Amino acid sequence: MEGFMYPNEVELQWGILIVLYPFLTGLVAGAFILASLERVFRVEEVKPTYRLSLLTALAFLIVAPLPLQLHLGHPERSLEMYLTPHRSSAMAMFGFVYLWYLMAVLVVEIWLDYRRDIVRLAESSRGVKGLLYRALTLGSYNISPAALRIDDRVGWIITLIGIPSAFLLHGYVGFIFGSVKANPWWSTPLMPVVFLFSAMVSGIALVLLMYMVTSAMRRVAVDMRCLDTIAKYLFYTFVIDFALEMLDLIHRIYESDESFRSLDFMVHTRLFYSQILIQIFLGTLAPLALLSLTQMITFPAAARRRIYAIASVLTLVGIFAMRWNVVIGGQLFSKSFLGYTTYKVGFVTREGLLPAVALMILPFAILYVLIKILPPWQEESPFVAEAHGDD
Amino acid sequence: MILNRRQILLLLPAAAVAWDSVLADNPEGSPNYKMSEHWWGMLIDITKCIGCGSCVRACEMENDVPEGYFRTWVERYHVSDWHIENPEVDSPNGGMDGFPPGKAEGGKNFFVPKMCNHCVDSPCSQVCPVGATFHTPDGVVLVDYDYCLGCRYCIQACPYGCRFFHPKKHTADKCTLCYHRITKGLTTACCEACPTGARQLADLKNPNDPIHAFLKTHSVQVLKPHLATGSKLFYNSLDGSVR
Amino acid sequence: MGEFKDIAHLIRLAGVFLLGLIFFLVFRSVTIPKSFGRYGPFRGAALVELSSRPLSFAGHAACENCHPDVAALKANGVHKSLNCESCHGPLAKHADDPGNVKPVLPDVAQLCIRCHSENIAKPAGFPQVNAKEHSGGQACNTCHQPHSPGFDAGGKR
């Protein structure tokens, strides 16, 4: 500890797991927005990634509550959020928003989109797998064109509802931080918006990477038109995200209120590596430069793929760093503005590095299982033709 | 079950007493105490605090406060000349063992005891997701240790740093204004132990409480007024440098 | 919309959701603590629990009940605003069972210093001394009566 801190402030309350949570839900929201680009806004080019985006969102959403459970002092009481949610608390809406998004949006949309495949697989599979598919059909084997047309319409409506739902799923996390008037590093009306746009950036980058990786694993050619379109949306979203963060920074420097000197010192010392080097240079300026290059100059496909991959990885690192700088950074300085502390992250402790890494790997394991159960790729599915009708 | 007249005559007064108890809103642990008759706050007189740390020790003894955490603590300020935005502050072990001799050169030096402000519009209870931290009808902000999830949002939301995460209970914890004492007509442990009367419990609803006269005749401040927390912890002669 | 058979699967889905909702509502009504909401958006029973903690400090009224002589001595001296347990420590156990629970007398050497050792931050009018210079290491109660430590003009306690 350096300087003076209120005695109870020296120990950080929210650690790496709380950094991980908005990162994970951000990926969910971002992946879903990419899927909705095709479904609602008819950006046909990104269709090859539609199902992959949805499954990615689901895999990460399943894991999302786990860091929170590990963090709680009494995880066995977490159901209280459903029993007696305190309506003035942004955190209280977590349980309901999560459940709504998981069940009413993501699961229903995936089910509607995959219904034909599920029915066919239910009829053709044996054993446990067959049981699973038969359960998933909910007992209805109607995949006539009329039924599928209705599914498509309903799915469209669900996606439409899903967009503000995705905004809510991640925006409320931004509000959780942005509404804390006690903490000037967090308290700004921009916070939910910044969180949302950085979520979209991270989600799009993730799907871009997943598409390239899964195509390579399947030894299938990448649809360059799709990839270029995704990269384009990544670029646009990133520009907006960067503009918002710059706005916050410039505003702070200009107004220079009582917290500024303390925060400025903190950024230049405690957060130098994570904010200035990793988030800003490596994680924002570098990928923006790379992506803008591809928008201005036409590179050959192989070069573009490499640039996109590097830009996506840097983006993901940068967005994780942004979450770190918000959550951890907000606790490194004293609310007296007279001192600073350090964050000591354990390794094999309940809230340590090891569980955090495990939780970051787990969604990919779940995604692998989901891909096996619900194959996203039309070419491999014996049940050819569009997943949904076009109209 | 049909009641005869005699049974009704016996039951009615019993029912009346029970109903009166319900109306009086007393927490049944203190039968003579009516919550609606009290509105608790505290007065801290900076001109009287000698930084002895008796309050910190008394609180620790009365409430089993774990070591290294503080429901109340004392800070020492050294303000050199006109630099009121850069005071030098220390609080060795929360002031529990008193303070070492300070620097003698120039400037202004004084002690500031701190604790939960039992705010009327407390940001901590606003953000609790399940209602585990709350306001009592008599103005005390408390934590329900059997209901708290340990999410620590309240600790983040408190501008005064008075909350901590209890290492054994795994819940949030903070000053309770010795609720178990004030509901029995006693004063808080910190006020009981303070040798100079720098800390005084105040019942703002009691017209005879000395705080009313004090507020009329002294310059009184609260911490971080710009955050509009409705703090009920009043300081006499709080310097502008106090954070 | 279409014929019923084409939306049958959606009806089934809605049925699943409805079942879930009913289960949730039933579960909720059974599991919410009974006292929740009695006094506000919190568990009313918590008030009982929190106000039932055992006391450690008895409070000066309890001391003065049994020790009126000391109380009278103190009331006339400069320590009149000082409560008994401030020096003697928490004594609720003693007040509840005076015969069996005897308080330990505080160590004067440590006790008086805590308040009266000189410190730049103490209010100017407060009596502060440098212990070694003041008494050369003698215990404070060699000259001062703790319950009424002042001296009159004649140097008498």
Examine residue A378 and state whether it is found in any structural domain, yes or no.
no
CB contact under 8 Å between C6 and A146, yes or no, is: yes
C136 in any annotated domain: yes
Pairing of strands B220-221, B233-236: antiparallel
Report CB contact under 8 Å: A103, C36: no
Q: What is the pLDDT of residues B159-179, one digit of tens each?
A: 999 999 999 999 999 999 999
Angle at A271 between CA A265 and CA A277, to 5 degrees: 120
Q: Smallest Cβ distance to A80: which of B88, B149, B163? A: B149
Q: Do A80 and B88 touch (CB under 8 A)?
A: no
Q: At what angle do helices A191-217 and A224-255 cross, to 10 degrees?
A: 150
| Structural tokens at position A375 | 């194959």
Report which residue type is found at C148: S
3-state secondary structure A97-120: HHHHHHHHHHHHHHHHHHHHHHHH
Say whether A363 sits in a helix, a strand or coil: helix
Find, among A211, A25, A41, A45, the residue nearest to A106 by Cα: A25
Q: Which residue has the tokens 């502050």?
A: B89
Residue A114 inside a domain? The answer is: yes
Q: What's the pLDDT band for A388 if we cut at 50, 70, 90?
A: very low
Q: Give A213-216 contacts, CB < 8 A, sequence gap 24+.
A: A214/A52, A214/A371
Q: Are residue C83 and residue C102 in the same domain, yes or no?
A: yes
Domain assignment present for residue A220? The answer is yes
- Same structural domain for residues C11 and C84? no
Nearest to B147 among A80, A176, A334 (CB): A80
No. of H helices and E strands in chain A?
Answer: 15, 2
Distances from the Cα of A378 to the Cα of A48, A50, A146, A385, angstroms: 9, 11, 21, 7
Range of the domain at A76: 2-373
Tokens of A355: 């569980």
Handedness of CA B157, B163, B166, B171 (dihedral sign): negative
Closest A-chain CA to C15: A138
Residue C89 counted as domain residue: yes
Same domain, C20 and C75: no
H or E stretch including B231? none
Same-domain pairing of C36 and C73: no
C70 lies in some domain: yes
Q: Which of C51, C73, C89 is the last residue of a domain?
A: C51
Judgement on whether residues C70 and C134 belong to the same structural domain of the protein: yes
**pLDDT at residue C135, as a whole number:** 86
Query: B81: phi > 0 → left, psi -120 to 50 → alpha, else beta; which?
Result: left
Residues in chain A closer than 8 A to C4 (CB atoms): none
Same domain, C76 and C133: yes
Tokens of A210: 């997943």
Within this chain, do residues C77 and C131 fall inside the same structural domain, yes or no?
yes
Find the distance separating the first CA and the last CA of chain C, reported in whole Å.
101
**B89 and A74 in contact by Cβ < 8 A?**
no
B150 → chain A, closest CA residue: A73
φ/ψ (deg, to 5) at B108: -120, 140
User: Domain total for chain A?
Assistant: 1
pLDDT, one tens digit per residue, over A263-318 is 999 999 999 999 999 999 999 999 999 999 999 999 999 999 999 999 999 999 99
Percentage of chain A modeled with pLDDT above 90: 90
Nearest-angstrom CA–CA distance, B41 and B52: 22
| Residue A299, domain CATH | 1.20.1630.10
With an 8 Å Cβ cutoff, are A335 and B159 in contact?
Answer: yes
Dihedral of alpha carbons A168, A169, A170, A174, sign: positive
Quote the tokens at residue A260: 């500024």
Q: Which domains does chain B have, with CATH numbers?
A: 40-236 (3.30.70.20)
Q: Which residues of chain C neighbour B103 with C-beta distances below 8 Å?
A: 120
Residues of chain C with Cβ-Cβ distance to B197 below 8 Å are 81
Residue indicated by tokens 């084997």: A141
How far from C111 is each of B25, B97, B163, C86, C102, CA to CA, in Å?
43, 11, 30, 10, 19
Helix runs in A40-178, H state only: 50-63, 65-71, 80-83, 94-99, 108-124, 127-136, 145-178
Is the Cβ–Cβ distance between A201 and A39 less than 8 Å? no
Evaluate whether residue C150 is within a structural domain.
no
Question: A315 near A205, Cβ under 8 Å?
Answer: yes
Of B133, B136, B193, the CB nearest to C86: B193
Number of neighbours of residue C148 by Cβ within 10 angstroms:
18
How many beta carbons lie within 10 A of that of residue B212, not counting itself? 13
Write the CB contacts of C61 (distance below 8 Å, at least 6 apart in sequence): B186
- Residue at which a domain ends, from C33, C51, C69: C51
Q: How far apart are CA A262 and CA A250, in angstroms?
A: 16
pTM across the whole model: 0.91
Tens-digit pLDDT string for chain B (243 aa): 555 666 666 665 555 454 444 444 455 556 789 999 999 999 999 999 999 999 999 999 999 999 999 999 999 999 988 888 889 999 999 999 999 987 667 789 999 999 999 999 999 999 999 999 999 999 999 999 999 999 999 999 999 999 999 999 999 999 999 999 999 999 999 999 999 999 999 999 999 999 999 999 999 999 999 999 999 999 999 999 999
Instruction: State how far residue B174 is from chain C, nearest Cα, in angstroms.
Output: 12
CA A251 to chain centroid: 27
B146 touches chain C (CB under 8 A): yes
SS3 (DSSP) at A323? helix
Determine how many CB atoms are found less than 10 A away from the CB of residue A359: 20
Please, is C52 exposed, middle or buried when counting C-beta atoms within 10 Å of its C-beta (0-12, 13-18, 19+)? middle
Q: Residue A79: inside a domain, yes or no?
A: yes
* Token pair for B102: 């300070």
pLDDT at B22: 44
Q: Residues C75, C27: one domain?
A: no
Is residue C149 a part of any domain in this protein?
no
| Residue A138 predicted with pLDDT over 80 | yes
Q: Do C41 and B134 touch (CB under 8 A)?
A: yes
* Residue C156 in domain: no
| Position A23 in a domain | yes
Name the residue among C57, C83, C121 with its Cβ closest to that of B51. C121
CA distance B19 to chain A (A): 27
Output the six-digit token pair for A189.
Answer: 């009306």
Q: What letters, b where the CB count within 10 A reaches 16 and e where it falls short, cover C79-99?
A: beebbbbbbbbbbbebbeeee
* A391 has pLDDT over 80: no
Determine the distance from the C-alpha atom of residue A36 to the mean position of all C-alpha atoms in its chain, rounded to a whole number.
Answer: 14
With tokens 């009982």, the residue in question is C48
Partners of A142 on chain C (C-beta within 8 Å) are: 5-6, 8-9
For A82, nearest residue in chain B (alpha carbons): B130
- What residues 40-79 of chain B have any CB closer than 8 A to a CB of chain C? 47-54, 58, 61-63, 76-78
For residue range A92-113, list pLDDT tens digits in order.
Answer: 988 899 999 999 999 999 999 9
Please check whether residues C28 and C71 belong to one and the same domain.
no
* Domain range enclosing C23: 4-51
Quick one: which of A115, A158, A156 has its CA closest to A139?
A: A115
In a domain, C12, yes or no: yes
Q: How far apart are the first and last CA of chain B?
A: 66
My answer on whether C68 and C96 are in the same domain is yes
In the three-class reduction of DSSP (H, G, I as helix; E, B as strand; rest coil), residue A32 is classed as helix
B96 interfaces chain C, CB cutoff of 8 Å:
no
Partner-chain contact C57 B193, CB within 8 Å:
yes
Measured in angstroms, the CA of A322 and the nearest CA of chain B are apart by 19
Interchain contact, A80 vs B130, CB within 8 Å: yes
Domain total of chain C: 2
- CB–CB contact B160 A7 (8 Å): no
User: Does A382 map to a domain?
Assistant: no
Chain B CB contacts of A7 below 8 Å: 69-70, 73, 91, 93-94, 161
